[in-house]
Amino acid sequence: MTRRFTMALALFALLFSLAVAPAPAVAAPKEETCPNRLCTFLLPDSYENVSKQETFRTYRDIATNDLFILLVGPVPSGATLLDVVNGAVGEYAKSGEFLPIGKIRDEIVGGAAAKSFAYEARDSGGTMIHHEAFFLLRNGSVINLNFVVVPERVEAVVPAADLVLASFLFP
């Protein structure tokens, strides 16, 4: 009887210590601001800002070298979101080896209507790179979001991309 009680007490102590032990620390995402203060968004803590210009930002994951690029520009006069996206596809197609993947998709970014498309192209070093490009129109500006990874990392970057896209806020 004493042995069973001691075993039960030891098991209870183990389970209790697991239940009250602090969870491992997870780095909190950090808040970033779009050019011209058009929006704010969250980035995983592993991304660092490697280029902050007036109209664009480039962030790099320090562990994987995945990139997130945000560009802002004026909406061409009278252009719709689809016009902007078709224009971008046309420009990308001129830049050499451009392999579209699928069709233009309707999306939601931070509650706003957006469009996206995926493509692959070679970078200046000849490496094939996968791009997921998202476009939305806000306050007379085109916001272009690009997730850039080597093709083998497409699935691995989805959690970071989902965090970023869902976190967009527009004043």
Domain boundaries, the chain: 27-167
* Residue 122 φ/ψ, nearest 5 degrees: -85, 140
pLDDT of 77 reads 94
Nearest alpha-carbon partner for 118 in 166, 151, 164, 79? 151
Q: Which residues of the chain are under the pLDDT cut of 50?
A: 1-26
The pLDDT, as a whole number, for residue 27 is 57
pLDDT for the residue 171: 84
Q: What does pTM read for this prediction?
A: 0.81
The DSSP letter of residue 97 is S
Q: What confidence score (pLDDT) does residue 54 get?
A: 87
* Pure H helices in 24-111: 81-94
The CATH number of 27-167 is 3.40.1000.10
Predicted confidence at residue 57, as pLDDT, reads: 94
User: Which pLDDT score is estimated for 28?
Assistant: 74
Task: State the pLDDT at residue 14.
Answer: 32
- In angstroms, the CA 17 to CA 20 distance is 5
Integer Cα distance of 160 and 17 in angstroms:
32
Q: Which residues contact 75 (CB under 8 A, 6 or more apart)?
A: 84, 137, 140, 141, 142
Strand 141-149 and strand 67-74: the pairing is antiparallel
